[in-house]
Chain A
Amino acid sequence: MNNTPLPKDIPLDLPLPEWLLVILLVVSFLAHIVFVNLMVGGSIATLWAEIKGLRNKEYDILAQEIAATITVNKSLAVVLGVAPLLSINALYTIYFYTANSLTGIMWILIIPMVAIVFLLTYLHKYTWEAMANMKLLHIAINALAVAMFLFIPLIFLVNVNLMLFPEKWMSVRGFLSALALPNVFPRYFHFICASLALTGLFITWYMGRKNYPFEEYFQVFTRAKVKRIGYQLALGASVAQFLFGPIVMATLPAKGFSWSMMSVILSGVAVAVYAVYYMIKTLRGSDADLNKYFRRIVISMSIVVVFMGSGRHVYRANALNPHRELMAQKTAEFEQASKEAREQALNKQAEANEAIAAAEASGDNTAKGKAVFNNYCAACHKETSLLVGPPVTEMKEIYTDKKADLIKWIKSPGKKRPDAPQMPPFPQINDTDMEDLTQYILNIK
């Protein structure tokens, strides 16, 4: 049973201690994913509100207000994504790049797709008034953006999933077959729900801020109403996580599980229960108390995010560390073999030099030149027959007693023969070598 590849690693040291790299990876990834969540969740919420806005103008205003935040969040999402990309590239070079390569076309399509979806969000945002009489078309622009926002995370998930399982690499034939690995979709829905939950809390905060001029925008809606919308979204999505979470766990291959990982995840779940309890309590309470537990909810949800992000990393480390250990051993073996081969080649070179010296000592004054010839010329010239260019015997006929012309030609040849390609110039051959080379050519027998 040979099915798990064991390549060698990039033979350079990590740029910083591994534990530090791991911390940077997890922290920067969480910062990135929070803004990705707000961008994806925000665009879905905008679509929902703008459609409702067809009947009730207030929802249209709500949609416009949420839409204004997407373009800011998306800029932060992209720019904050660079650090985790850098860190995962350094820490898991072999695993990440292999997954990229096996899903290559879809992976590179992320670039134009994200650029297009960003342009669509700007178009949507800046044409709100101009397209007021073409509402359906305006909604369609955002619907297209939402569809793309929903698709692109799948590509990322396929990659971060595939990189964990070298034993599956040989069975993958392109993006679609990697998509079919069992735990891609559960993780995907887990991500979408997280996006909606965070967006709900974001709406509650953003429009509930004291210096947000709520009354300038809305005539009918009250702050309380919009805050409740945010809370409901957060609550619904969080409760759905209690369904998707177990499915994710059930479909993850066993190899990365450990008690430490389970304890991190279950602690996260416990804190999530706490947050959900206070969301329910807030929604059942009066409008005056809508802010009462907000800080508590946000802090506990942040803790959930940190626990889940850490659990995710512990799983990845568990899943890959045995393979990484073997890979390090293999890389060391290769380095050793490479070093030995280098020494061997040096010895061979020394022997060849000795042989030339011996030949010279015995009176053969073309041995050195022949070595130069083999290096630079033998690709196209043979001694007595035509290869790409004419044979050496012919050179001797042309250039006997015209050594200077021969050297000039070698350094910068022209084109003489209609049936042969032009020779490349060899200005890099130094004077001593050139002397030996012409000696050989002009003394060929």
Chain B
Amino acid sequence: MDFPLFHLDWLNDRFLIAMIAIIHVFINHGLAVGFLPYITLLEQQGVVKSGPEDITDLAWDKMVQRMMMVGFVITTTMGAMTGVGIWFSAALISPNSIGSLIRVFYWGWFTEWIVFVSEVVFIMIYFLTWKNSNKSLRAKQRHIRFGWFLSAFSWLTMAIIVAILGFMMDPGNWVEDQSLLSALTNPIYLPQLLFRTPTAMVVAGAFGFLLIMLFTKKDSPIRPTALKTTATWVLLWLPMSILASIYYYNVIPEAMTANMSTAVGTMDFAKYYDLLKYIILIATSSLALLAIWTLWKPKKVNLIIVIIPFVLSLGFLGIFERVREFIRKPYVIGNYMYSNLIREEDYPLLQRDGILKHSTYTSITEITEENKLEAGKDVFMIACSRCHTSQGINSIIFVFEKMYGEGKPLDINSMKAYIPNMHNGRTYMPPYPGNEEELDALAHYIFYLQQSGATLEGAQSAGAHLNPTHSVEHFIEQKTKQQ
């Protein structure tokens, strides 16, 4: 409505955000928040296990430093950029919601930024002073203390960002008083933090297993010791991660659970969702098995049995993010803005006047027989395109054919009867925001999409059309008339 809309008509807009966000979470949890205390622990172990004459076990220390280098390089390249990328992609796909969130959470994010700047500086200091700190025991001990300090800092950045994520799922009292404090104290905050903390540690352990296998030789004496430390680390955190995930699910507000079960109620999703539950079960138990096996027979650990739980634990994390995103529907900001970027409170106006009348970027001022398809296209872009494509992933044709029969020509009247009420049956869908004429145009356009196989170009290539009643010139003309 207020923005020319970027749209990826095959990949699906949500997929872009999801892809970037999930890579970021993997790196953030696995190679920063969980990884830093894990690496510091290993560094400390090197000092403890070395002889009284030595500062540290040099071969061991070299291995730990190389592991840290992987964490350092990946977090300061892909980790940092995917973090920025979440903003970039959210600004493209969901400008109204990210624009609103920034206005509410400016200070939260600003604080986050200060902590984040410090974190990057500290990580650089920690990694780049590693070599020099090996010159004396005192320097080494100071380096290790710095590592613990850095770990706490890294956790703090996560603690702040989780408040923002929690808010987006359930704004608590924010809709009433719109203050930052009430958003930060929303009811899902602590459970989510409780879940993410041990899970980050577990995923870091999975990264640790993999890196030890890569950076030590088969017959190296340090490999079994390092693997056993990692196994203990994983076994320590894993039960907490499992318990926290159960707790987390139990406190998700009633409405959201009901909503989730509605989605699960569809046959396709039920199958998919069951699969997800199994992956979580398999991922956690495979990691537990690997850890127990490592403690029992540390010399009989090979790359393959390390890689499998590693991949599965990444899947575990990805699924959690997926569910977290899904239970937000039909809102993008709970009880305030729907996932089509329209505020709940503006619905009466838009349903009365139509959405096109209040849209800056459409060429249609009045729907006629001639411009009906064009109008339908604009309605689709505004009301549907944030989640649906024309022919690609989660396409509008796919979802209607699933309901009315695959390959059968869609019935315009059925769609017109269905769309205004769909949110009652499919509670993850926002209500239809437009008026009757627009509904007619939309249904015709969807039928046209099915029959023609046409696609829909976003503003990034097609540009935008201006609604003549939403121009500066028109606005000033209206003001002139009032004089």
Residues of B close to A239: CB separation below 8 A: none
- Docked CA distance A115–B73 (Å): 10
Residues of A close to B361: CB separation below 8 A: 5, 7
Within 8 A of B (CB), among A367-401: 374-380, 382, 387-388
Residues of A close to B6: CB separation below 8 A: 100-101, 104
Residues of A close to B249: CB separation below 8 A: none
Residue of B nearest to A173 (CB): B463
Residues of B close to A122: CB separation below 8 A: 73, 77
- Whether B3 and A97, one on each chain, are in contact in the complex, defined by CB atoms closer than 8 angstroms, is yes
Chain B: minimal CB distance from A410 (Å): 11
Q: Most chain-B CB neighbours within 10 Å: which of A86, A97, A170? A: A97
- Whether A104 and B103, one on each chain, are in contact in the complex, defined by CB atoms closer than 8 angstroms, is no
Chain A: minimal CB distance from B206 (Å): 22
Contact of A427 among B92, B258, B346 (CB under 8 A): B258
- Docked CA distance A419–B88 (Å): 45
Contact of A387 among B262, B417, B475 (CB under 8 A): B417
Q: Per-position contact with B for A159-185: 1 when CB-CB < 8 Å, else 0?
A: 000000010011111110000000000
Chain B: minimal CB distance from A37 (Å): 18
Q: B358 in the interface, Cβ–Cβ < 8 Å?
A: yes
Residues of A close to B1: CB separation below 8 A: 7
- Docked CA distance A89–B245 (Å): 34
Q: B160 in the interface, Cβ–Cβ < 8 Å?
A: no
Chain A: minimal CB distance from B4 (Å): 5
Known: A2-B466, A108-B89, A422-B266. A78 touches B80 (CB 8 A): yes
Chain A: minimal CB distance from B252 (Å): 16
Q: B298 in the interface, Cβ–Cβ < 8 Å?
A: no
Report the count of interface residues on A (CB-CB < 8 A): 92
Known: A78-B80, A424-B265. A86 touches B458 (CB 8 A): no
Contact of A83 among B113, B462, B463, B470 (CB under 8 A): B113
Within 8 A of B (CB), among A332-390: 334, 337-338, 340-342, 344-345, 374-380, 382, 387-388
Secondary structure type dominating chain B contacts: helix
Contact of B84 among A1, A5, A81, A421 (CB under 8 A): A81
Contact of A118 among B81, B100, B358, B417 (CB under 8 A): B81
- Whether B258 and A388, one on each chain, are in contact in the complex, defined by CB atoms closer than 8 angstroms, is no
Chain A: minimal CB distance from B239 (Å): 33
Q: A280 in the interface, Cβ–Cβ < 8 Å?
A: no
Contact of A102 among B262, B345, B460 (CB under 8 A): B460
Residue of B nearest to A116 (CB): B77
- Whether A86 and B113, one on each chain, are in contact in the complex, defined by CB atoms closer than 8 angstroms, is yes
- Whether A101 and B459, one on each chain, are in contact in the complex, defined by CB atoms closer than 8 angstroms, is yes
Contact of A86 among B78, B106, B474 (CB under 8 A): B106
Residues of A close to B459: CB separation below 8 A: 101-102, 104
Q: Per-position contact with A for B264-298: 1 when CB-CB < 8 Å, else 0?
A: 01110000000000000000000000000000000
Instruction: Provide 30 A-B residue pairs closer than 8 Å at the C-beta atoms, listed in order of the A residue.
Output: A2-B468, A5-B361, A7-B2, A7-B470, A72-B124, A78-B81, A79-B113, A80-B117, A97-B92, A100-B6, A100-B88, A101-B92, A105-B461, A108-B89, A108-B92, A111-B82, A118-B77, A119-B73, A170-B464, A329-B475, A334-B358, A338-B349, A375-B421, A377-B421, A378-B421, A379-B422, A388-B414, A388-B418, A422-B267, A424-B262
B interface vs A, CB < 8 Å? 1-6, 16, 20, 73, 76-78, 80-82, 84-85, 87-89, 91-92, 95-96, 98-100, 102-107, 109-110, 113, 116-117, 120-121, 124, 128, 178, 258, 261-262, 265-267, 343, 345-346, 348-349, 352-353, 358, 360-361, 402-405, 414, 417-422, 424-427, 458-466, 468, 470-476
